[in-house]
Amino acid sequence: MTGKLIIISAPSGCGKSTIINHIMEEGTRDLQFSVSATNRLPRPGEVDGVNYYFLTDDEFKTRVANGEFVEFEEVYPGRYYGTLRSELENRLSNGHNIILDIDVKGGVNVKKQFGDQAVSIFIQPPSIKALRQRLEGRGTDAPDVINQRVGRAEYELTFAPQYDHIVVNDQLDTAINETKTLIDSFI
């Protein structure tokens, strides 16, 4: 039996990581997380091989040249992120399902490549205004960074219609339940 892919994308600040972590921590489904590669530096607490495979610019380029990526994108200027074939192939052929937390272009790309073997879910903020309030409420970003994130969110929202499903994260519990239901009915 071949496993399936669950692609989850969302603008930053929409609660995507919280939703994914919650579903993974339940541990009730055969779901494994696809660890992406990136050339960005680890944040405090992030572990190589767990959160990401942290690569140097040269290592990332070499792996691109060797055709090791299913997809990769320059998500922020000079910051590359990609899904390694090695993260998907064996596990899929062993029948395991895999969840991918990837940006909008990567999400659309993987869905095109895998067709019915993948479901794509877009987590959407109730509104741009609500997203701005959430980012401001977090208090972790300077105003210009918030403006940048909101601007990027507006761009990312234009990809939502290309996803199989849209989950609006107004109430976190409801969004988690809706996402779980979509995953369960797909796998």
List interacting residues with ligand 5GP (CB under 6 A).
Answer: 36, 40, 71, 73, 75, 81-83, 101-103, 106
Residue least distant from ligand 5GP (Cβ): 106
Shortest distance (Å) from residue 48 CB to ligand 5GP:
13
Quick one: 28 or 165, whose CB is closer to ligand 5GP? 165
d(CA 5, CA 98): 5
Residues 17 and 102 sit within 8 Å (Cβ to Cβ): no
Closer residue to ligand 5GP, CB minimum distance, 127 or 155: 155
* CA 100 – CA 122 distance, rounded (Å): 12
Least spacing, CB of residue 103 vs ligand 5GP, in Å: 4
Backbone φ and ψ of 85, nearest 5°: -55, -40
Q: What is the dihedral of CA 104, 108, 114, 120, to 10 degrees?
A: 60
Structure tokens at 19: 């939703």
The distance of closest approach from Cβ of residue 34 to ligand 5GP in the complex, given in angstroms and rounded to an integer, is: 7
CB of 97 to ligand 5GP, least distance (A): 17
